[in-house]
């Protein structure tokens, strides 16, 4: 704003050597001014960087995190809920950015912190193990990234994260010893705990003797000392102190991370590997046999799963579907392992044209096998309704199919083992991030309510016990069923199960604050009920909503 009033006053205030800009070139003054201001800015940036990254600031931030954790988790009579955990996670992210200026300047670390922030928000929405795990992985990667040259591969990063977690307990003591050693090298002689005790032993003991003599001689001092009492720690205090230490141990490694000095290298997975009994001919024959066996299995799946040929007598469709869904995935994993071990890029087997063609055909058949396994699972769902385990199985099959495709692509393009590992981890991480924000239980409950035999006349009967086990995930679907045109008996039983779930959710919200998703579900449920807070007459009923006999 000062510069808008004219260049001369601005240069006079801010630049030494330009007090009389009329005597020298105005352009020269501008250059000189910019240079001096840049120097001041760099000095200020260096000062603030040292200030925010200093050991003392990290100690203060760690103490602040311990105090915050004490207030969130210990200084309340309520149970630990989702919101306090999410708040503590977000506070750790803020403390990390303050304590580590290098993290703020590294785009890779900022991206990892963005993922960690998303996982912290996910904890507030609906806490689950996936969100919890992904948060710690993301924040651990963020604090270590500025100290690594580049993101090499997942195996090495797994070791770095293990070392970071392993040194969580001794890290504060190691840093304290390093600080004392550095201070002694600079001539600052700070006594340790034992030295401090030796220093204070004589003054404290002598003062105690003198005070005891004064108390014997002076009744006023004696009465004053009698009013003092040393409080003894009770069980609650001891537990609280243990929690303080635990909070410090989970916070300090993020502020002062320890980078693994030695790492085990990633398995190269290229070139020839001398294995007894393995040759180009044996691998060629193995692939030919595998292709024939897989062709037979895929032909049976195509004939029976698509209804082209009736199943043999004594074998039901449900049995055929159930028995084959998961073992066939193990077969596909075996195929992937075989290709990784015996067809390493650059090996003689991988360079053989006939073997490469057989591998392409075999992996294509494996992909068809995985698709058949997924179809088996879908048929099983049609017969026995949907569960979170079956949804997870379908997602796992999709991961296996993606992994097989990546193995084939790596073989064709001669990529390294690190590339294959990182590609698979990226796909798995993306899927886990999606699952962290998607309630599989709600999907299962919604599907079961809409496709139960009582609703569409096909499939299995609605399993209200399973719906009850899903908790809040099945609240809104059961409420929709209760208000639908379903049979009266089913609607009545669904009403009782829904009522129990609402009571449980309300108790969680009252005792621990609950999660944001549970609060939203309760609000939606009361809105669908027109805010009629009356509950059914208390009666002992089972998970199907039927009275006990």
Give a yes or no: residue 187 inside a domain.
no
Give a yes or no: residue 327 inside a domain.
yes
pLDDT category of residue 110 using cuts at 50, 70 and 90: very high
Per residue in 288-299, pLDDT (tens digit) is 999 999 899 888
Given a contact cutoff of 8 angstroms between Cβ atoms, the answer to whether 340 and 269 are in contact is yes
Residue 280, pLDDT > 80, answer yes
Residues 409 and 474 in one domain: no
Residues 375 and 452 in one domain: no
Residue 143, pLDDT > 60, answer yes
Residue 367, pLDDT > 70, answer yes
pLDDT mean over 299-312: 77
Residue 431, pLDDT > 60, answer yes
Query: What local confidence, expressed as pLDDT, does residue 47 receive?
Result: 40
**Winning range, highest mean pLDDT, from 111-125, 306-320, 346-360:** 111-125
**Percentage of residues of the chain with pLDDT beyond 90:** 27
Residue 482, pLDDT > 50, answer yes
Of 399, 415, 431, the residue at which a domain comes to its end is 415
pLDDT category of residue 446 using cuts at 50, 70 and 90: very high
Per residue in 527-547, pLDDT (tens digit) is 988 865 555 444 556 666 666
Give a yes or no: residue 135 inside a domain.
no
Query: What local confidence, expressed as pLDDT, does residue 538 receive?
Result: 45
pLDDT mean over 141-170: 83
Query: What local confidence, expressed as pLDDT, does residue 428 receive?
Result: 93
Residues 294 and 335 in one domain: yes
Higher pLDDT, 29 or 301: 301
Give a yes or no: residue 479 inside a domain.
yes
Residues 458 and 403 in one domain: no
Residue 193, pLDDT > 80, answer no
Per residue in 33-68, pLDDT (tens digit) is 545 544 444 444 444 444 444 778 888 999 999 999
First to last CA, the chain: 85
Rounded distance, CA 238 to CA 278, Å? Answer: 63
Residues 399 and 334 in one domain: yes
Query: What local confidence, expressed as pLDDT, does residue 174 receive?
Result: 61
Range with lowest mean pLDDT among 55-64, 219-228, 475-484 = 219-228
Residue 112, pLDDT > 90, answer yes
Higher pLDDT, 1 or 161: 161
Residue 407, pLDDT > 90, answer no
Residue 249, pLDDT > 70, answer yes
Per residue in 330-361, pLDDT (tens digit) is 887 788 788 877 777 777 877 888 888 998 89
| Coil, strand or helix at 541 | strand
Please give the backbone phi and psi of residue 541, each rounded to the nearest 5 degrees, phi first: -135, 160
pLDDT mean over 75-99: 91
Residue 197, pLDDT > 80, answer no
What is the chain's percent helix, strand, coil content, to nearest 5?
A: 75, 0, 25
Rg (CA), the chain: 34
Query: What local confidence, expressed as pLDDT, does residue 50 receive?
Result: 45
Per residue in 15-37, pLDDT (tens digit) is 555 545 444 454 445 454 545 54
Give a yes or no: residue 330 inside a domain.
yes
| Coil, strand or helix at 547 | strand
Give a yes or no: residue 487 inside a domain.
yes
Range with lowest mean pLDDT among 197-201, 209-213, 479-483, 494-498 = 197-201
Residues 403 and 504 in one domain: no
Query: What local confidence, expressed as pLDDT, does residue 24 receive?
Result: 44
Residue from 16, 17, 18 nearest 6 by CA: 18
Residues 285 and 396 in one domain: yes
pLDDT category of residue 230 using cuts at 50, 70 and 90: low
Query: What local confidence, expressed as pLDDT, does residue 240 receive?
Result: 87
The upper half-sphere exposure of residue 442, i.e. CA atoms within 13 Å in the direction of its Cβ, equals 14
Rounded distance, CA 11 to CA 21, Å? Answer: 8
Residues 338 and 456 in one domain: no
What's the number of domains the chain is made of? 3
Residue from 94, 93, 105 nearest 45 by CA: 105
Give a yes or no: residue 524 inside a domain.
yes
Query: What local confidence, expressed as pLDDT, does residue 26 receive?
Result: 47
Residues 294 and 384 in one domain: yes
Residues 494 and 384 in one domain: no
Count other C-beta atoms under 10 Å from residue 90's C-beta: 16
Query: What local confidence, expressed as pLDDT, does residue 256 receive?
Result: 84
pLDDT category of residue 84 using cuts at 50, 70 and 90: very high
Helix extents (H) in 126-153: 129-144
Residues 404 and 455 in one domain: no
Range with lowest mean pLDDT among 83-97, 147-161, 337-351 = 337-351
Q: Which domain holds residue 24?
A: 3-52
Higher pLDDT, 377 or 150: 377
Residue 170, pLDDT > 80, answer no
Rounded distance, CA 525 to CA 518, Å? Answer: 10
Rounded distance, CA 434 to CA 449, Å? Answer: 24
pLDDT mean over 106-118: 95
Given a contact cutoff of 8 angstroms between Cβ atoms, the answer to whether 365 and 298 are in contact is yes
Query: What local confidence, expressed as pLDDT, does residue 214 receive?
Result: 78
Give a yes or no: residue 387 inside a domain.
yes
Residue-averaged pLDDT of the chain: 79
Query: What local confidence, expressed as pLDDT, does residue 41 receive?
Result: 42
**Percentage of residues of the chain with pLDDT beyond 70:** 75
Residues 406 and 340 in one domain: yes
């Amino acid at each position: 704003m000062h510069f808008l009033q004219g260049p001369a006053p601005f240069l006079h205030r801010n630049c030494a050597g330009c007090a009389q800009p009329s005597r020298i070139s105005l352009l020269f003054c501008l250059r000189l001014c910019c240079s001096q201001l840049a120097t001041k800015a760099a000095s200020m940036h260096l000062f603030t960087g040292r200030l925010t990254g200093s050991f003392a600031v990290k100690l203060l931030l760690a103490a602040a995190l311990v105090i915050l954790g004490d207030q969130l988790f210990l200084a309340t009579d309520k149970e630990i809920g989702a919101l306090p955990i999410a708040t503590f996670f977000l506070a750790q992210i803020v403390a990390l950015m303050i304590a580590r200026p290098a993290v703020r300047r590294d785009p890779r670390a900022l991206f990892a912190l963005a993922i960690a922030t998303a996982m912290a928000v996910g904890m507030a929405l609906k806490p689950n193990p996936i969100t919890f795990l992904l948060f710690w992985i993301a924040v651990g990667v963020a604090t270590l990234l500025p100290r690594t040259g580049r993101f090499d591969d997942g195996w090495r990063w797994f070791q770095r994260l293990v070392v970071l977690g392993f040194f969580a307990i001794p890290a504060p003591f190691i840093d304290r010893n390093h600080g004392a050693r550095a201070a002694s090298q600079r001539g600052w002689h700070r006594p340790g705990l034992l030295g401090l005790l030796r220093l204070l032993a004589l003054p404290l003991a002598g003062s105690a003797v003198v005070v005891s003599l004064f108390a014997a001689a002076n009744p006023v001092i004696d009465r004053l000392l009698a009013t003092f009492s040393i409080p003894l720690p009770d069980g609650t205090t001891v537990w609280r102190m243990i929690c303080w230490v635990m909070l410090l141990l989970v916070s300090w490694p993020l502020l002062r991370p320890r980078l693994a000095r030695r790492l085990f290298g990633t398995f190269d997975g290229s070139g020839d590997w001398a294995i007894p009994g393995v040759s180009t001919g044996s691998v060629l024959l193995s692939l030919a046999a595998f292709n024939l066996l897989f062709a037979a299995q895929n032909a049976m799946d195509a004939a029976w799963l698509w209804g082209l040929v009736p199943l043999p007598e004594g074998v039901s469709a449900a049995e055929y579907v159930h028995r084959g869904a998961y073992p066939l995935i193990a077969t596909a994993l075996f195929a992937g392992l075989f290709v990784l071990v015996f067809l390493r890029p650059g090996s003689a087997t991988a360079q053989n044209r006939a073997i490469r063609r057989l591998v392409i055909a075999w992996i294509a058949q494996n992909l068809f096998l995985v698709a058949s396994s997924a179809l088996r699972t879908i048929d099983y769902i049609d017969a026995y309704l949907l569960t979170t385990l079956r949804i997870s199985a379908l997602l796992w099959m999709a991961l296996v199919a993606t992994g097989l495709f990546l193995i084939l692509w790596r073989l064709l393009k001669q990529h390294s083992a690190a590339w294959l590992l990182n590609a698979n981890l990226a796909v798995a991480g993306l899927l886990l991030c999606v699952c962290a924000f998607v309630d599989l239980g709600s999907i299962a409950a919604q599907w079961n309510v809409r496709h139960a035999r009582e609703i569409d006349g096909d499939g299995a009967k609605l399993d209200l016990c399973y719906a009850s086990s899903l908790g809040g995930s099945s609240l809104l679907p059961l409420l929709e069923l209760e208000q639908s045109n379903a049979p009266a008996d089913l609607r009545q039983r669904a009403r009782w199960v829904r009522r129990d779930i609402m009571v449980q959710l309300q108790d969680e919200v009252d005792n621990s604050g609950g999660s944001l998703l549970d609060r939203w579900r309760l609000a939606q449920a009361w809105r669908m009920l027109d805010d009629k807070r009356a509950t059914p007459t208390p009666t002992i009923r089972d998970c199907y909503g039927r009275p006990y006999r």
